[in-house]
C-alpha cells in the first residue's frame, strides 16, 4: 500500500581530501532532496569545510590511517551506523561515494525524489552501474562548471557500480556499498548510478601520484582502474537502451560464487554511448 504522505529522503557520503566532486555532490543532491537532508562525513579533523557546509549536515570524524581494504570496510560500517540512526527521521537513506550520482531515467518524467515515492517492498534498491570515463582521443579535460554528462559520451556498463545504495530500512553495507550484508539485491528498471571517478585522465594522474594513498595500498587499485581509458578507446560502443535490459537481467542471474548477493560481471566489458536524454542531468 502506497504511503499517503511524502517519504522523507536523505543522502549520506564520506569524503577525505577532495574538492572536485564534493561541490557537485552537494549541488546535485541538494537540488534533488533539499540541502538540509544531506549528511557529509568528513574523514579527518584536518579537512576543510566545503563551501556550502552551512546548508548541509557536516559530521566530522578523526581520521584513522588504514589500508585500502580495511578503510573501505571501516567507512561502510560507519555510514551504516549513521544511517541506522537517520531512519528515526527518514523513510529512505541513500548512501554512496562522493563521485557517484544516482539518476532516474528522464523518460519517467519524474524527479528522483518523486520517483522514489513509489512503494518499495525490499530493504534496498540497486541502480544499474555506469562507469564513465574520458575518451582521450575525442574528449577534452573536464570543466567542472558544466554538466559532466554534457562532456562525456561513453561509459562501461559495470556491475561493480550496480550498488544497493537506496535503503528503506537499516542495513549493513559491505565495502564500497557494493552489497548489503545478508540481503539480496534488486536492480530498479529506471535508476542509474553514474560513477565519475575516472571522468578526467589528468585528474586521475594526479591522484595516482598521491603518496598517502599509495602508502595505504591504493597503487594496484589505481592501475586496474586506468584500464577504463583504454577500454573506451578500443571498444566499439553499443546501443545503450537496447543493452540496458539485458545488463540488468544478466547481472541478476549470473552472480559470483563467493558473493551471491552481488551482481555478476559482464565478461564482454560492454561500452555504451550514453543516451542524449541524460546530457544535462549531472
Q: In terms of DSSP bridges, do strands 57-61 and 38-43 run parallel, antiparallel, or are they unpaired?
A: parallel
The C-alpha cell at 216 is 595505504
Q: In terms of DSSP bridges, do strands 124-133 and 92-95 run parallel, antiparallel, or are they unpaired?
A: unpaired
3-state secondary structure the chain: CCCCCCCCEEEEEEECCCCCHHHHHHHHHHHHHCHHHEEEEEECCCCCCCCCHHHCEEEEECCCCCCHHHHHHHHHHHHHHHHHHHCCCCCEEEECCCCEEEEECHHHCCCHHHHCCCCCCCCEEEEEEEEEECCCCCCCCCCCCCCHHHCCCEEEECHHHCCCCEECCCCCECHHHCCECCCCCCEEEEEEEEEEEECCHHHHHHHHCCHHHHHCCCHHHHHHHCHHHHHHHHCCCECHHHHHHHHHHHHHHCCCCCCCCCCCCCCCCCEEECCHHHCCCC
Q: In terms of DSSP bridges, do strands 187-198 and 124-133 run parallel, antiparallel, or are they unpaired?
A: parallel
Q: What pLDDT sits at residue 226? A: 87
Whether CATH 3.10.350 fits 9-278: no
What residue ranges do the domains of the chain occupy?
9-278
d(CA 78, CA 165): 15
Share of the chain above pLDDT 90, in %: 77
Q: What pLDDT sits at residue 206? A: 80
Give which of 148, 133, 149 is closest to 232, Cα–Cα: 133
C-alpha 21 chain-centroid distance: 11
Q: Are 216 and 65 contacting, i.e. CB atoms less than 8 angstroms apart?
A: yes
Q: Are 147 and 268 contacting, i.e. CB atoms less than 8 angstroms apart?
A: no
* Residues comprising the chain, all counted: 282
d(CA 254, CA 249): 9
Q: pLDDT (tens digit, 0 to 9) for every residue of the chain, 282 residues total?
A: 445 579 999 999 999 999 999 999 999 999 999 999 999 999 999 999 999 999 999 999 999 988 878 888 999 999 999 999 999 999 999 999 999 999 999 999 999 999 999 999 999 999 999 999 999 999 999 999 999 999 999 999 999 999 999 999 999 999 889 889 989 899 999 999 999 999 999 988 887 766 565 556 555 566 678 899 999 999 999 999 999 999 999 998 888 777 778 887 788 899 999 999 999 999
C-alpha 140 chain-centroid distance: 23
Amino acid at each position: 500500500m502506497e504511503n499517503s504522505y511524502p517519504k522523507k529522503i536523505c543522502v549520506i557520503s564520506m569524503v577525505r581530501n577532495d574538492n572536485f566532486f564534493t561541490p557537485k555532490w552537494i549541488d546535485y543532491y541538494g537540488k534533488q532532496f533539499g540541502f538540509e537532508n544531506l549528511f557529509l562525513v568528513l574523514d579527518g579533523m584536518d579537512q576543510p569545510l566545503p563551501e556550502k557546509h552551512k546548508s548541509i549536515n557536516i559530521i566530522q570524524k578523526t581520521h584513522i590511517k588504514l589500508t585500502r581494504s580495511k578503510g573501505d570496510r571501516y567507512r561502510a560500517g560507519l555510514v551504516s551506523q549513521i544511517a541506522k540512526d537517520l531512519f528515526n527521521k527518514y523513510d529512505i537513506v541513500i548512501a554512496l561515494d562522493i563521485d557517484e550520482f544516482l539518476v532516474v531515467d528522464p523518460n519517467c518524467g519524474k524527479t528522483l525524489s518523486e520517483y522514489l515515492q513509489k512503494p518499495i517492498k525490499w530493504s534496498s534498491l540497486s541502480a544499474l552501474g555506469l562507469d564513465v570515463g574520458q575518451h582521450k582521443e575525442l574528449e577534452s579535460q573536464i570543466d567542472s562548471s558544466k554538466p559532466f554528462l554534457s562532456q562525456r559520451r561513453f561509459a562501461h556498463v559495470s556491475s561493480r557500480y550496480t550498488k544497493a545504495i537506496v535503503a528503506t530500512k537499516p542495513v549493513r553495507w559491505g565495502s564500497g556499498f557494493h552489497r548489503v550484508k545478508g540481503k539480496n539485491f534488486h536492480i530498479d528498471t529506471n535508476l542509474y548510478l553514474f560513477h565519475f571517478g575516472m571522468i578526467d585522465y589528468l585528474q586521475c594522474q594526479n591522484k595516482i601520484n598521491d603518496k598517502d594513498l599509495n602508502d595505504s595500498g591504493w597503487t594496484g587499485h589505481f592501475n586496474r582502474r586506468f584500464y577504463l581509458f583504454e577500454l573506451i578507446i578500443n571498444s566499439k560502443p553499443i546501443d545503450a537502451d537496447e543493452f540496458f535490459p539485458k545488463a540488468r537481467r544478466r547481472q541478476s542471474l549470473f552472480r559470483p560464487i563467493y558473493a551471491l548477493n552481488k551482481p555478476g560481471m559482464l565478461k564482454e566489458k560492454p561500452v555504451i554511448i550514453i543516451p542524449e536524454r541524460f546530457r544535462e542531468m549531472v
